[in-house]
A = this chain, B = another copy of it.
């Protein structure tokens, strides 16, 4: 069983569910027609199926290693990466001015989804480069842009993000890395960074580190942090990689998953760096990089959900066990059918959320309208947290569908679960995503959420005649959720945070049901997509109620047990 790119599903979602078509009415994306979209999806899908997916198991079995301070990548990665780079697939949404295709982020999102299905460990490399391209395009000087962007976009060089330090993880503001001016416009960057994904790679000519560090006059906390470009090799006068910079990979982590992706401890020892953005403005620049990276990480979860679903379905169709009718395979058992259908329905729902998020980003970019930007900002933590939660949950369901075979590593089902697990943690843990949703993303008093719920309810109203049994539960759920939101925005932060994870998931339940309904309507209210929508709405949507019950508890009683009591009971 090999991965098959879900081109038809992506095309259906783009055209009928997330209204990708409206991008074409903007000047910026007027060229992203159906034929271009089709060609992009088809070609990228083919690359994922034929070139990238085959290196996924080898990368797990033979992890990347560190030899003499240099990363030696897993078998086949170099060739697969070169195919990505040569095909122009590192970042199709990169600006045309620097050699990019200037395509919508939405298409990039679909490509990231497919590449993640094929090989999460390898895909992380271009994903980080995408984030760097975006950060540089938004914040770097023209010189830096001119020097770095074409190389990053072509995939000749790759990018990394250096935020975390041993004592500064979720609390980035606690970092201690320093940057001292060298007097020539450059800075000497010193410090240790951990969890640096693809901190080195043997298939690119240079590795470009974006490093957060504090200038001598930087205040404590996040407001005193600046961002620096610190390349592994210092570009020479021609822009070619020259002498080695004062930095090194100290060690690689031994991890639960993504064995093919080297997770590095990096040491910067007075390494030469160039300021990106304003002095002390590093966090703002980093957030640019992180915001779309969060959508990208959400797509990693979705890609794994897709791959796990394909694998589980194939097994369920092939494995005979017990007396059943139909195909004679275990897919005929009610509980197996439930699991596989759940995987299908969940993957569809969260993929729709992520693509709607991407469309909002593109519309914000194309129109400059604040409403679109607010929509994108609202959906980003949901795409990230829910995408990765569903990715992990579906990978675990996939293991269960395989029975005993699921626990055997050669099967590959377990690898999906191990690989995707980190996506719930990195790029801001899913708890932090949920805090972002109920705090920063509700600073508008809930306006962006209400605008989205208005659309959900309008669609339910419109479907009331055709599909009353689907429309009504969604309308009710949206109303419940709206009331919960009205309650939430009136609460203190501690009360919001106590139920934030449940709130985010409840939101995703309502949205998932909504996109399923749109799919059913596009199908005319009858057929397989309607069947899948019905499954989701009847069996999965009801979860929102118990989630809202948790939300409404707030922090009530949460601190009743003292720390000592928590240890004692």
Chain A's interface size range is 35 or more
C-alpha gap A529/B560 in the complex (Å): 10
Residues of B within 8 A of A430 (CB): 400
Instruction: Flag whether A326 is at the interface (Cβ < 8 A).
Output: yes
Shortest CB distance A521–B (Å) = 15
Shortest CB distance A313–B (Å) = 7
The residue that A408 contacts in the complex, of B255, B408, B529, B550, with Cβ under 8 A, is B255
Instruction: Flag whether A245 is at the interface (Cβ < 8 A).
Output: no
C-alpha gap A561/B532 in the complex (Å): 8
Most buried by B among A317, A399, A409, A560: A560
C-alpha gap A494/B497 in the complex (Å): 42
The residue that A565 contacts in the complex, of B321, B531, B538, B543, with Cβ under 8 A, is B531
Give the residue name and chain of the B residue nearest to A345 (CB): B569
Residues of B within 8 A of A181 (CB): none
CB pair A399–B421 under 8 Å, yes or no, is yes
CB pair B501–A338 under 8 Å, yes or no, is yes
CB pair B407–A422 under 8 Å, yes or no, is yes
CB pair A335–B409 under 8 Å, yes or no, is no
Within A419-467, the residues touching B (CB, 8 Å) are 421-422, 424-426, 429-431, 434-435
**Chain A's interface: helix, strand, loop or mixed, by majority?**
helix
Instruction: Flag whether A557 is at the interface (Cβ < 8 A).
Output: yes
Shortest CB distance A60–B (Å) = 11
Give the residue name and chain of the B residue nearest to A410 (CB): B254
CB pair B257–A331 under 8 Å, yes or no, is no
**Which of A107-115, A167-175, A352-360, A362-370 lies at the interface?**
A167-175
C-alpha gap A414/B414 in the complex (Å): 13
CB pair A421–B407 under 8 Å, yes or no, is yes
C-alpha gap A565/B334 in the complex (Å): 17
Shortest CB distance A344–B (Å) = 6
Residues of B within 8 A of A542 (CB): 545-546, 549-550
CB pair B558–A498 under 8 Å, yes or no, is no
Residues of B within 8 A of A326 (CB): 563
Instruction: Flag whether A239 is at the interface (Cβ < 8 A).
Output: no
CB pair A563–B317 under 8 Å, yes or no, is yes
Residues of B within 8 A of A392 (CB): 396
C-alpha gap A153/B425 in the complex (Å): 46
A-B pairs, top 8 by smallest CB distance, nearest first, are A528-B565, A334-B497, A531-B560, A542-B549, A542-B546, A335-B431, A256-B414, A334-B498
